[in-house]
């Protein structure tokens, strides 16, 4: 039997998605295209990484002295904690001061109080026969739990007065008085009365009670009970709680 010869024909040159018509790309052409694409990218990256650093001549926030009045408070602990003002006698105080004489004990001492020119003025006369004292007092509901005592700026001609701090404590139904000395001079002076130095009495007799509740102070009083007959005058510029420097 005679075999027929099958003639092979060349497929037409049809472009496909992965081929292109016409002459094929040469390696030299491919290299040239890659070079044209890479050079701009290198220039761009070089521009970014060689951006000049910002200068230090630009104006920044103003520097402030930590001790100047307009400076913000320091974040660290203060070297001298701020006092707590209780009375300034400049019109901002709302609590009235009232006089308490020794008349309840048959005494004849007299006291008078007024606020003039930003100063508390306590005047009068002490008669030692009988009670032998007079005092002034004002409500002052303050939390002094973080403080060590009370200080006053006073002028009193050399006589010794006493500061009374009341937290409402009673002993056998009697009001407890907690007092500490306030010596004065002819000139203005600042006197500190530590809470630990207060002596507790009830109608002049020593009593044993709990320590002062510094968080529940109800009133502040000033006595003159120094055992001297005669007139007196006390001026008070301000009264405030103080803390010892840390």
Q: What are the extents of the domains in the chain?
A: 84-240
Phi, psi of 49 (to 5 degrees): -80, -15
- Asked if residue 233 lies in contact with residue 157, where contact means CB atoms within 8 angstroms, the answer is yes
Instruction: Look up the CATH architecture of domain 84-240.
Output: Sandwich (2.60)
Q: What is the mean pLDDT of residues 199-219?
A: 95
Closest CA to 105 of 176, 203, 202, 200: 203
Q: How far apart are CA 24 and CA 84, in angstroms?
A: 94
pLDDT value for 12: 45
Residue by residue, DSSP assigns 154-170 as EE-TT-EEEEEEE---E
Q: Answer yes or no: is pLDDT of 33 > 50.
A: no
pLDDT band at 105 (very low <50, low <70, confident <90, very high): confident
Query: How many Cα atoms sit within 13 Å of 169 on the Cβ side?
Result: 22
Task: Pick the range with the lowest mean pLDDT from 32-46, 76-90, 112-126, 184-198.
Answer: 32-46
> What tens digit of pLDDT does each residue of 141-177 get?
999 999 999 999 999 999 999 999 999 999 999 999 9
Query: Would you mind telling me the total number of residues written for the chain in this entry?
Result: 246
What percentage of the chain carries pLDDT values higher than 70?
65
């Amino acid at each position: 039997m005679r075999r027929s010869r099958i003639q092979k024909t060349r497929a037409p040159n049809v472009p496909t998605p992965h081929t292109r018509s016409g002459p094929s790309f040469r390696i030299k052409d491919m290299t040239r295209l890659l070079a044209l694409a890479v050079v701009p990218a290198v220039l761009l990256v070089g521009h970014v990484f060689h951006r000049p650093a910002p200068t230090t001549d630009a104006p920044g926030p103003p520097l402030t002295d930590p001790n100047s009045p307009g400076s913000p408070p320091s974040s660290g602990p203060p070297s001298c904690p701020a006092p707590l003002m209780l009375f300034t006698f400049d019109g901002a105080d709302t609590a009235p001061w009232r006089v308490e004489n020794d008349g309840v004990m048959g005494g004849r001492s007299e006291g008078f109080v007024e606020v003039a020119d930003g100063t508390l003025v306590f005047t009068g006369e002490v008669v030692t026969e009988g009670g032998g004292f007079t005092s002034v007092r004002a409500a002052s509901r303050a939390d002094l739990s973080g403080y060590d005592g009370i200080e006053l700026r006073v002028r009193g001609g050399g006589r010794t007065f006493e500061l009374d701090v009341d937290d409402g404590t009673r002993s056998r139904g009697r009001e407890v008085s907690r007092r500490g000395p306030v010596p004065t001079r002819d000139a203005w002076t600042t006197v500190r009365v530590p809470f630990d130095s207060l002596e507790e009495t009830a109608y002049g007799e020593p009593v044993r009670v709990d320590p002062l509740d510094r968080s529940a102070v109800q009133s502040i009083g000033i006595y003159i009970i120094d055992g001297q007959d005669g007139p007196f005058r006390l001026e008070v510029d301000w009264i405030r709680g103080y803390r010892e420097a840390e």
